[in-house]
Amino acid sequence: MDMDLQQKLLNSASSQTRVISRDTTRSLETKDVESRALKRTLELIEDKKNLNLSSIFQREKIFKFHTKQVNAIAVSHDSKLLASAGKDLEIKIWDLEANEERISLKYHTQEVNWLAFSKDDVYLVSISNDSMLYVYEVASRQKVKAIRISYHGYCVCFSPSGNSIGVTSGNGKIYNFPQFTEEIQLLGHGSHIYCISFNHGGTLACTGGHDGTMKIWNAHNGKCVFNFTGHSDFVYSVSFSPDGQYVASASGDTTVKLINVEKKIEEFSFKAHSSWFVLSFSPNGKFLATGSYDKSAKLWSLETKCEILRLNKGENSTLALTFYGNGNYLATACGEGKVRLYDLHNTTDDSFTEYEDCYVSSVSTSNNGKYYAISKDYKINVLEIETNKCIGSIDIKLAKCVKFSIDDNMLACSNFKCIKIYKTTDFTEIASLQEHENDVYALDFSPDGNFLASGSCDGVIIIWNIKSFNLEHTFPGHKDFVDSVRFSPDSKRLASSGYDNIIKIWNILSKEEEIMFIGHKSWVTSICFSSNGKFLASSSKDCTVKIWNLEGQIEEKSFSLSSPINSMSLSADNNILVCGCGISIWTIVPIIEMFTSIGNKKQFNQNCIGSNKKNSLAILNLKENRLEKVFKDLNSPIISVEFTSNNKLIYFDEEKVHYLQMPTQANWYAGFLDKITYCASDTTNELIQPESLISQSNYSFIDYYSCLYLLSEKKYENISAEQMNFFISNCGFTPLHILAFKGEAIAIENILKGSEFVHLYSDRFGHSPIYYSIIKKHQKVTDIFLEYLIELTLNPDKKVYLPSFTGIANDIPWILKNSSKNVDMFFKVCMNSKDSIIIFGVPSSDLPMVKIAPDLSPMKNNFLTMENGEEFPLILKFSRFPIPSVCGSEKSIELLKAILESANKEIFKSEFIQSLVSNRWDEVKLWIYSYTFLMWINLVLLITLLADFSWVYLIPFIVVNTLLFMWEFFQFIDSGLEYIQDIWNLVDMLRLIFTGSWIIIKFTESNQTVLYYVSWFAVLLNVVRGVTGFRAFGATRYYIRLILQSLVSMKSFLYIFIYSTLSFGLLNIAATSGTISADSLWMDSFGLAFGETDAMKSEHVDLQYISFLIAMVVNVILMLNMIISILGDSFDEFQLMAEIYNYREMIEVLLEIEQLKSLILKPNESLYLHTCMHAYLSDEDSWQGKVMETKVYLQDVERKISEGIKSIDESIKTTQLGMASLENNIGKSVQDSNQKLSSRVENLENQMNEIKESLAVISERLEILVNKG
């Protein structure tokens, strides 16, 4: 992001706009803003008129060098000169740095077809239709050699060594250079040869001709080693890949074919243009540029085998092209005399302010952020950061490290084996510490101002007392150079690291080694503590950054970058880690690698086409576990980088000092905008900044713009896995967000299949791609994402799954509400064991224990006690993403509601949901018990008042009911109309109404009949609500739910039972000629059915006895057995669902409590869920009833059958692959035999031709002899 964009964000934050904070959870229904923002981003990408990849053309330079068509271009190897020629017969040489013509040559009489610079750029060679080849000396601007060739000259090419030159015309020849004596003839094409190319070693030459064949020759003896006949038209252009592994050909049949030189087979082929064309490999061999007579120029990815960029606007034909400048530029020759130059390298970022040149060996910034000390040229200068004004200097031979004291009153520096300390007021020396036996490389003052630590190249660390300047203690702990020492914030610990790849933590009080971390594969260059002292960050020359948990003494996180890391600094909030990277000239290594980032081995594709600059400044977002921004291609390696107290970021390289004022309102550097601003009337246009689509600097130009191009052309299947991690626009969408929004299930599935390097990053709104698939109702896409996340958990490496799970943290409520078929399995894998390590210890409380903590990894000290007791084998687990940690916060309530609304009830059986509920329950159980006892006290007081209506009991009864009313009232305020949708809330409302009515009627002494009924209903509702109080206790919650579930199950039965009872009452009335009343309809018939014979008046068998018999059979025998059967089935069903009912009940209770607590504004904080449980015992091991045992058994059988079927399928697949491989090998053998046979036939033909030529020569000589005779 450039400074103008930063300023816009800062200005917009202060304007009168509606503000959404990313950390403020919005309603699940408020999904309009981000959805519209993503839609607008997609419109900008797909609307080619608006986007038009305009930055490509802004970076394009067009020169009209010639008056007619340009046929040929060549760029010198140092990329300073460009030569062009064409139909106007002129050869022009341009200075690319000065953008001016340097030389103009005109010797040819017909159009020039090809140009080539010699290896040393001393000579330029041209070839033309006039059958002449000219050699020019560039410096003298003179033609130095002219060679006549047999036919029109088509192509000329230097070998890599520069000692040979290939020429094609009617035939092909290789000359030595610069003598130009003919060495080898390339005989074998049936017609004209158009093109020639040498491999990287100069051992092979490839030619293409009018006969449609492509031949590979031994460049030393001219023998044909391979003949390719796959094209159906002439071959106009050929090119070896830089590594010589492949050769590409361009044909009049409009196709490109890539041939594997070693295997002598065609790797793949694609249709490139609609007319004949030329091609060129990029220097890194990953891209292929093609230009055609059909007025198009394209860039192709050889990795994805597809077009990734269209370079010109279809105005002119492209007749020649070449990469130059290490592949950062592409030159194309066009019709109408034009040459186009494309700038393909990464743009530079101008966010930093730079100061004057200075060679830096060591630096330090003051703690007040105003000054920095820099060691150079046998002197230490202290300068103001704002003005770069020098305020003082110290003459010293060589300071390998400098350091300001905590109060900035002293400056310590090393001078070989000695440490000198100076006042910063007048820069006078106040102490000289001389105890080291070798040079000192590291210094650090303790935060309490009492100590100075120094480390030397003999591996020794010394602690100095700053008050007395005496040696306090010596730690001889390292085996090699100590390159970094750092005190913890509380000054109680000292961390040290160095060339032995080890980090050690020393206890200053006990003067002992406390912890040793081993993990880096090369020397550790920098270390720093987090502000709370719980973590230590380390960087290394192995290109990794590691975060160490000091309490657990384990590696917490790890990040990989593209270059060795020289220095780093951690922000005060511990969220941002800035790393200075670079390769000094004495440590240069081969730079052929993918850029790696947070969470995995190959994440961000940083393959700039040919650039080998590895100096960069990387900003890591530790909160989101990802790389946020990279300032790339810096001129020099970064020596030091530091955050200052006034929010400035300063870094020093070998040449300059740079600083950046980090923005406070728009924290782009942290990976998210704390406040995204937009207008209330039209949010989208204000939110999306079109320029942000094209003003990127994090990725290579080609990779980023090819990604945009593929999105605009809807060629989603060709987007690479690395490109899926690119952030697009200021809203931070990735291509995966866009595909999820559009519902491109097939493309997403193909990209994610087998890939561990695509991460579900969150955008600036805090949402991952899965969120957009859910709100757009693309269920197939949502299922694919969940399956992918489940697969990621199979890899124990946190770097693989951590970024994705961090990215989806805000989308968990949406995932729950979506109720995907995979959601239960997803939550079953959301708890991860700590490397599956079993620990032994005495638990501090009953198992299982659940806690929340800011650390990802659980600490055993949080769960174990030092007291004597029985030790158990324990296992620690943690959630893979943070959860809302504050009870009563909006996020926490939203999560609980989403769990209740999920249609997939199996989630309640997951360890994650159960642990979450248990943790919440423990936190608010005092509230729950208080409310329960309040209801029971209310019931007791009500019963007491029925017996004795006095003020002694009435006043506490009114107080209790007032509290209960306030409880319900606040719930209603928080929930709105949702409140009345819960049946228990309706019960509470009716209870309060009848209870209040009863008190009023009791006082007014109104109608006793009304009082009678009101009293009964008041007691009934209070008794019912009191029964629900048993839900607060685990032992009774089961039975209360069983009773309620049984009533629900027998609901339909009760309807029939009531009907049958009333029916028998009517039969009894008819049999006795009685009157219809409540007793005769219900009580008498109910009594008859269950053996009550008092109502039987007849002494002999009559209709009443018959009614009694039917009632006994139906209502007693039949109905009783039915109810027993129904209740038995209900109990079996309840056993299956008991776990679900239990945790659902708990969440309902929790939701009531949290809604009350939400009245006090709660922050939306998120922490990790940690659990400790017995390693081998679980609830599943206990008897759970015959139904559950049967279910578990059947599941186990099903699993074994599935595994058997899977094994059979794998065997079938293996057999099929073996057959396919055998068939392929047979095919290859046949093809190789055919090729060998063709080659032998061709060799015989060549030999026959040679014999014919020899016979012709002999015949001519005989004729001459005869004529002479």
The answer as to whether 569 is a domain residue is: yes
The answer as to whether 990 is a domain residue is: yes
Same structural domain for residues 1081 and 1171? Answer: no
Of the candidates 662, 680, 709, which is a domain's last residue?
A: 662
Give the bridge partners for 884, in sequence order. 1166
- Residue carrying structure tokens 């994650």: 912
For residue 1117 the two structure tokens come to: 């025998």
Give the number of other Cβ atoms within 10 Å of residue 243's Cβ.
Answer: 14
DSSP string, 1073-1094: T----HIIIIIHHHHHHTT--T
> Nearest 5°: CA angle at 1220, between 1214 and 1221?
85
Question: Which H helix or E strand runs over 985?
Answer: helix 983-1004
Cα–Cα dist 528/526, whole Å: 7
Over the range 1185-1213, which residues count as b (16 or more CB within 10 Å of their CB) and which as e?
eeebeeeeeeeeeeeeeeeeeeeeeeeee
Same structural domain for residues 80 and 201? Answer: yes
Same structural domain for residues 449 and 481? Answer: yes
> Contacts by 134-140 with C-beta closer than 8 Å and gap 24+?
134/107, 134/108, 135/178, 135/180, 136/91, 136/105, 138/76, 138/81, 138/93, 138/103
- Name the domain count of the chain: 5
Q: Which stretches does DSSP call E strand in 76-203? A: 81-86, 91-95, 100-105, 112-117, 123-128, 132-137, 142-148, 155-158, 164-168, 172-176, 182-186, 193-198
Cα–Cα dist 174/820, whole Å: 67
In a 3-state reduction of DSSP, which class is residue 578? Answer: strand
Alpha carbon dihedral 937, 938, 943, 947, in 10-degree steps, equals 100
Cα–Cα dist 670/1230, whole Å: 60
Give the DSSP letter of residue 563: S
> Contacts by 1030-1034 with C-beta closer than 8 Å and gap 24+?
1031/1145, 1031/1146, 1031/1149, 1032/925, 1032/928, 1032/929, 1032/931, 1032/932, 1032/1149, 1034/1142
Could you give the angle at which helices 983-1004 and 951-975 cross, rounded to 10 degrees? 150
CATH of the domain at 626: 2.130.10.10
Give the DSSP letter of residue 859: P
pTM value is 0.71
Same structural domain for residues 229 and 245? Answer: yes
Cα–Cα dist 561/578, whole Å: 12
Q: Of the candidates 431, 441, 485, which has an alpha carbon nearest to the alpha carbon of residue 463?
A: 485
Q: List, run by run, the mean pLDDT of 10-residue segments along the chain (1269 residues).
A: 35 32 39 81 74 50 81 91 92 86 90 93 94 93 89 91 90 88 85 92 93 92 90 93 93 92 89 86 88 85 79 73 84 82 61 43 79 80 81 83 91 89 90 89 92 91 92 88 91 91 91 89 88 89 87 81 80 78 38 26 30 60 72 65 67 63 40 32 56 68 80 86 85 92 92 82 90 94 93 77 87 91 90 77 88 84 84 89 89 92 90 92 89 88 86 88 85 77 82 86 77 86 84 80 80 79 75 68 63 57 69 74 77 77 88 84 84 75 53 65 75 76 72 70 74 75 70
Cα–Cα dist 443/403, whole Å: 6
Contact 619, 585 (CB under 8 A): no
Same structural domain for residues 964 and 1098? Answer: no
> Phi, psi (5° rounding) for residue 876?
-100, 140
Give the bridge partners for 257, in sequence order. 249, 269
The answer as to whether 845 is a domain residue is: yes
pLDDT for position 57: 46
Same structural domain for residues 167 and 82? Answer: yes
For residue 95 the two structure tokens come to: 């200075």
Same structural domain for residues 1096 and 1030? Answer: no
Same structural domain for residues 1055 and 1028? Answer: no
Q: For residue 882, is the peptide bond before it cis, meaning its omega torsion is within 30 degrees of 0?
A: no
> Nearest 5°: CA angle at 275, between 273 and 277?
75
Residue type, 386: E
The answer as to whether 1156 is a domain residue is: yes
Same structural domain for residues 550 and 413? Answer: yes
The answer as to whether 1087 is a domain residue is: yes
The answer as to whether 503 is a domain residue is: yes
The answer as to whether 1243 is a domain residue is: no
Q: Which stretches does DSSP call E strand in 739-825? A: none
Of the candidates 247, 264, 279, which is a domain's last residue?
A: 279
Q: Is 310 left (phi over 0), alpha (psi -120 to 50) or beta?
A: beta
Q: Of the candidates 751, 673, 687, 697, which has an alpha carbon nearest to the alpha carbon of residue 719?
A: 751
Annotate 634-675 with three-state secondary structure: CCCCEEEEEECCCCEEEEEECCCEEEEECCCCCCHHHCCCCE
The answer as to whether 860 is a domain residue is: yes
> Nearest 5°: CA angle at 456, between 454 and 462?
40
Q: Of the candidates 417, 418, 458, which has an alpha carbon nearest to the alpha carbon of residue 439?
A: 417
Give the bridge partners for 184, in sequence order. 174
Same structural domain for residues 655 and 522? Answer: yes
Same structural domain for residues 82 and 186? Answer: yes
- Residue carrying structure tokens 């049967």: 1190
Which residues make Cβ contacts (< 8 Å) with residue 1053, sequence separation at least 6?
1119, 1122, 1123, 1126
pLDDT for position 613: 44
Q: Of the candidates 531, 521, 482, which has an alpha carbon nearest to the alpha carbon of residue 504?
A: 482
846 burial level (CB within 10 Å; 0-12, 13-18, 19+) = exposed
Which residues make Cβ contacts (< 8 Å) with residue 1041, sequence separation at least 6?
1031, 1134, 1138, 1141, 1142, 1145
Give the DSSP letter of residue 1184: -
* Domain span including residue 375: 353-662
Cα–Cα dist 960/925, whole Å: 20
Same structural domain for residues 377 and 493? Answer: yes
> Residue 650's Cα: distance from chain center in Å?
27
In a 3-state reduction of DSSP, which class is residue 74? Answer: strand
Q: Is 475 left (phi over 0), alpha (psi -120 to 50) or beta?
A: beta
Contact 1202, 1210 (CB under 8 A): no
Of the candidates 262, 279, 296, which is a domain's last residue?
A: 279
pLDDT for position 573: 74
> Nearest 5°: CA angle at 319, between 313 and 320?
105
Q: Of the candidates 106, 144, 150, which has an alpha carbon nearest to the alpha carbon of residue 132?
A: 150
Cα–Cα dist 399/378, whole Å: 8
